[in-house]
């Protein structure tokens, strides 16, 4: 009996509108000017709770979380650039001109930090024309995390 209940919960989904109400309207009202910083920190906290072993798992996590389609677009010595796209990202960008992707940015910063063991920070950049988000994580290979 327990297994059937689990399957039902996994197959349910939250309407996008409900998610947007909380993420884009309620949270900014509650958090005020600190919204971007708190969402970034929250993304880092979530990454710690969901340690992912690989880039493939990361991409799947983003899709399952409803955060969009994640792709690695460039890797350099001390930085990696991701692109976040898809219908959900397009919708958030078109409905709210200042849509925040700090939650996702913080998550990626922490994911990269856990993978490479160096202090890592990430920034995000909205691309209005193609309605995607570029997230770049940069680390200092002299600043090791224990």
Q: pLDDT grade, residue 30 (50/70/90)?
A: very high
Residue 5 reports pLDDT greater than 70: no
Nearest to 72, CA basis, from 20, 136, 8, 14: 136
User: Full-prediction pTM beyond 0.85?
Assistant: yes
Q: Which residues contact 119 (CB under 8 A, 6 or more apart)?
A: 113, 139, 140, 143, 144, 145
**Per-residue pLDDT tens digits for 62-113:** 999 989 999 999 999 999 999 999 998 998 887 777 788 999 999 999 999 9
Domains, the chain, with CATH or none: 2-144 (3.30.1380.20)
């Amino acid at each position: 009996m327990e297994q059937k209940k689990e399957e039902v919960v996994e197959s349910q989904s939250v309407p996008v509108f409900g998610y947007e109400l909380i993420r884009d309207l309620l949270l900014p009202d509650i958090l005020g000017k600190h919204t971007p910083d708190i969402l970034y920190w929250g993304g880092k906290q979530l990454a710690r709770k969901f340690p992912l072993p690989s880039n493939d798992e990361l991409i799947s996590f983003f899709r399952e979380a409803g955060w969009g389609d994640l792709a690695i677009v460039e890797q350099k010595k001390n930085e990696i650039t991701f692109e976040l796209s898809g219908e959900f990202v397009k919708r958030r960008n078109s409905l709210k001109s200042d849509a925040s992707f700090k939650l996702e940015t913080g998550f990626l910063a922490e994911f990269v930090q856990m993978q490479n063991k160096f202090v890592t920070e990430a920034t995000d950049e909205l691309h209005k024309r193609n309605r995607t988000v570029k997230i770049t994580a940069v680390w200092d290979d002299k600043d090791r995390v224990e």
